[in-house]
């Protein structure tokens, strides 16, 4: 029978437990082809590989991920794991446990995990969102300090969404380069690759360009520029 080798650091959690037997090798990441799929923005498509050898030794390899694999707070390209070790894949944390501490009989591998939102929670979020949009629109109309405005917008988003990391990225109109202008935790990121997958961000920008439509003026409405 498979032994549970890693469990989410926070319990209860909607993250999958990771089960391996001697000789097993499993990949973890956001992509559908990963053996253990976790839909989290801090993970690369194929983030890490876990392996248990014939001597029952568990090891982890970083598959050149953007945000790395940290074992007990130290980043390693590859490392042996021992009971009690805390492993951070991007910002998703697991704890190594013994086989005797089996968490469940059901394996969650290949399930894309997302936290469900109850109707009550959704209503609360909607109210907060509307209030934040209203406050932000008022500030936009009177904006004289863009950096301060971006910081306030991000603070509001943190209150509503409660992500473990967040950033507002601005696009350089000339070069197309992305620059983090407000980040949470404060000062944690100075480049896009430190915050999220550059590939995913690039795909999102390209999708926006493809679907963007030019604004059309209503019939009978004209703007005249006067000197």
Per-residue pLDDT of the chain (227 residues), as tens digits, is 556 689 888 876 788 889 888 889 999 998 889 999 998 888 999 999 999 988 888 999 999 998 889 998 888 899 999 888 999 998 889 999 876 554 443 333 333 444 444 555 455 556 666 776 777 777 677 777 888 888 888 877 776 666 777 888 888 778 777 888 888 877 777 777 777 766 777 777 777 676 655 544 444 444 444 44
Contacts of 212 (CB under 8 A, 6+ apart): none
DSSP state, 101?
G
In angstroms, the CA 156 to CA 190 distance is: 21
Query: pTM here?
Result: 0.46
């Amino acid at each position: 029978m498979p032994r549970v080798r890693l469990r989410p650091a926070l319990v209860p959690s909607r993250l999958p437990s990771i089960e391996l037997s001697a000789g097993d090798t499993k990949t973890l990441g956001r992509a559908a082809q990963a053996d253990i799929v976790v839909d989290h923005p801090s993970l690369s498509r194929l983030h890490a590989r876990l392996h248990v050898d014939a001597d029952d030794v568990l090891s982890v390899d970083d598959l050149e991920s953007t945000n790395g694999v940290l074992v007990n707070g130290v980043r390693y390209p590859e490392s042996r794991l021992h009971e009690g070790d805390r492993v951070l894949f991007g910002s998703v944390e697991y704890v190594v446990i013994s086989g005797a501490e089996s968490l469940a009989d059901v394996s969650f591998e290949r399930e894309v995990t997302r936290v469900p939102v109850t109707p009550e929670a959704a209503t609360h979020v909607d109210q907060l969102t509307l209030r934040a949009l209203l406050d932000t629109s008022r500030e936009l109309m009177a904006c004289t300090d863009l950096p301060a405005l971006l910081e306030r917008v991000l603070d509001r988003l943190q209150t509503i969404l409660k992500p473990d990391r967040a950033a507002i990225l601005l696009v350089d109109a000339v070069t197309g380069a992305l620059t983090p202008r407000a980040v949470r935790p404060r000062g944690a990121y100075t480049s896009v690759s430190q915050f999220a997958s550059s590939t995913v961000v690039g795909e999102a920008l390209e999708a926006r360009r493809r679907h963007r439509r030019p604004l059309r003026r209503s019939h009978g409405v004209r703007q005249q520029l006067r000197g």
